[in-house]
Structure 1
Amino acid sequence: MTDELPESDRATGTWIVVFVLLSAAVAIGVFLLLPSGGEGGTSAAATTEPDPATTSSTPSPELTDEPAPTTADPTSAAETSTEATSPALPTVPPSEHPPCTTYLDGGAASASKAEAALEEAAGTQFWTNSSVEVPDDLVKAIAWMESGWQSDIVACDGGTGLMQIQPETEEFINTRFELDLDRTGVEQNAMLGSAQLQWLAKYFSVNYFGGDDPGSYSLEDDCGNDGEVPDHLERCLLNAVISAYQAGFGTVEAVLDAGGDPDYTNPQYIETVRALLDQRPWA
């Protein structure tokens, strides 16, 4: 009896060995390719440099001092920021000063000094054969409107000081009333403004509103006679003088000469001055 296996048995055993070896090779390959799930294990992916094309450029919180992004509504944040940085309301009428605006040396006079100068100017009579009643508040309101009581401001057009006196106005008033006033001085600037109002009051009263010459004239409010026309648009001495102070007496003459209801070229100016007379923001 021989120890050798039959040929068929040997072939079967060979295929079993090959199958076992292939299975072991596959198991080893899977083990090497898949990351280890054990503690402290390191996979091939963990040791590979990150692909810059797929890696976020945002630094991790531990490596940056930048604050973490917020989920707050950006619209609300913008509104809060605007409210926090909004300037306080001005205490004088808002005015836009273009780059050509300049200022006199020495700075602006105090409000109390400006008010005293305006009151004195309102009470000073410049006509020698007539008189004009000029309310203190009218001079103060026009000065407030013109400069916000900034006695040192020089506008682009040459208007200077509290009453924004033009060089031509200074020359005209000084010549007409035989004065020598300087528009750059606080008190003298107020005097020039009051003298201009008094000249306009007599001129329009005599030529357009039946005033006597010589005579007495008043710049108290004489409007409000027509319930269908706003007070600041009525044909009256006060409105004519306020309008002419800014626009010039020739401009107002043309309006009054046209007849009918006056259509002043600067109605907003008249309305604002009249509102200042009522509200007296300087008080």
Structure 2
Amino acid sequence: MEYDEDTDEFPRPRRAARRVGAVLLTVALAVVLIGCAVIVNLAKGVDRPSGAAATSPAARPTPSDSPSESPSPSPPPPPPTEETQTTEAPPPPPKTTKPGCQPTYKGKQLAKSQVRKYLDTASKTKYWGTRAPAAEQAIRVPVRLLYAIADQESGWQSNIYACDKGVGIMQVMPDTHTWMNQRFGTTYNIDVPADNVHLGAQYLAWLFSYYGAQLKTFKADGTYNLSDPTLLNGVISAYNWGTAGVDPAKGKAGIPNGQYVDNVKALMEFCCEDY
């Protein structure tokens, strides 16, 4: 077709052909751009639908949709922490045994020198986690207290099982064992001597916090004064008796097992030097 100088335009058929060409060129460019985007996504490891298909639950395959692929197992829950655990007191130990009952022994008795090593380690152990208040984190059970309770409870015998169900060096009760592991998220084994000592020390650490908070026996630096006689009486009493009925703030009236407390405090002074 010839250009019309009078109208300054091409005839209509040529104009229509140009519009069609422009549309085809636009479509071609769009296809090229989409193709490039797909290639880039594949190179990045992106292989998921976009828009509603990416977020709709119906678009996600279920185990029944893909029987050959089992879902990944969920990670185990984190261990309990001081912030998520109850402060409820542990169960009390039994107070009576059958008349004439004698303790039994299982396995080999450890040398007392080895027992001492376990007790020394426990005295340096931090039982309260980093999420606990600073006063709890600072608690370290006095080694002389551990020596004395181990001597009073078992004579440092690692393989003794008492008639009241107390186990090992620290004569830990099975119910207390379960409670302490749940309370602190630990996995101590009551029948393993090293763990048995840790369970007893862990319980004492809990008792120092339990009664320390009640009595407000703080030192100048904000930590509990573990040598305070009133606090110490309550901790020793409750280790043997349980917390029910033990109120050291009441003096002797709040200590139902005064003889036991006196024995342990005396042992703290002179026991175990020859072990």
Q: Same fold (TM over 0.5)?
A: yes
Give the C-alpha shift of residue 137 in structure 1: 1.1
Alignment partner, residue 161 of structure 2: 154
Counterpart amino acid of 1:270? V
Partner deviation per Cα, 1:56-81 (whole Å, 9 max, x = no partner): xxxxxxxxxxxxxxxxxxxxxxxxxx
User: Where do 1:29-44 residues align within 5 Å?
Assistant: none
Partner deviation per Cα, 1:226-269 (whole Å, 9 max, x = no partner): xxxxxxxxxx100110000000012213x64xx46534111111
CA distance in 2 between partners of 1:149 and 1:260 (Å): 30
CA distance in 2 between partners of 1:196 and 1:134 (Å): 10
Q: Percent identity?
A: 36
Alignment partner, residue 265 of structure 1: 256
Gaps of 5+ in 1: 1-96, 224-235
Tell me if 1:282 matches 2:235. Answer: no
CA contact (8 A) 2:147 2:272 kept: no
Query: Which structure would you say has the larger RCO, counting Cα contacts within 8 Å and 6 or more residues apart?
Result: 2
CA distance in 2 between partners of 1:113 and 1:166 (Å): 22
CA 1:98–1:185 in structure 2 vs 1: closer, same or farther (change >3 Å)?
farther
User: Where do 1:1-283 residues align within 5 Å?
Assistant: 98-104=100-106, 106-128=107-129, 129=132, 130-211=137-218, 216-220=223-227, 222-223=228-229, 236-253=230-247, 256=249, 259=250, 262-283=253-274
CA distance in 2 between partners of 1:260 and 1:268 (Å): 14
CA contact (8 A) 2:217 2:225 kept: no
SS of residue in 1 equivalent to 2:253: coil
CA distance in 1 between partners of 2:100 and 2:223 (Å): 41
Partner deviation per Cα, 1:192-250 (whole Å, 9 max, x = no partner): 000000000001011233559xx632433x23xxxxxxxxxxxx100110000000012
CA distance in 1 between partners of 2:271 and 2:251 (Å): 32
Counterpart amino acid of 2:104? T
Which has the higher Rg, Structure 1 or Structure 2?
1
CA 1:261–1:160 in structure 2 vs 1: closer, same or farther (change >3 Å)?
closer
CA contact (8 A) 1:133 1:217 kept: no
Counterpart amino acid of 2:105? Y
* Cα root mean square deviation, aligned: 2.2
> Number of residues paired by the alignment?
169
Give the C-alpha shift of residue 131 in structure 1: 2.0
SS of residue in 1 equivalent to 2:139: strand
CA 1:260–1:165 in structure 2 vs 1: closer, same or farther (change >3 Å)?
closer
Gaps of 5+ in 2: 1-98
CA 1:187–1:111 in structure 2 vs 1: closer, same or farther (change >3 Å)?
same
TM normalised by structure 1 equals: 0.55
SS of residue in 2 equivalent to 1:273: helix
Give the C-alpha shift of residue 134 in structure 1: 1.7
Partner deviation per Cα, 1:35-66 (whole Å, 9 max, x = no partner): xxxxxxxxxxxxxxxxxxxxxxxxxxxxxxxx
CA 1:153–1:193 in structure 2 vs 1: closer, same or farther (change >3 Å)?
same
Partner deviation per Cα, 1:152-171 (whole Å, 9 max, x = no partner): 00011110000000001101
SS of residue in 1 equivalent to 2:171: coil
CA distance in 2 between partners of 1:98 and 1:118 (Å): 31
Give the C-alpha shift of residue 100 in structure 1: 4.2
CA contact (8 A) 2:154 2:160 kept: yes
Counterpart amino acid of 1:102? T
Which portions of structure 1, spanning 4 or more consecutive aligned residues, are displaced by more than 4 angstroms? none
Counterpart amino acid of 2:263? T
CA contact (8 A) 2:124 2:141 kept: yes
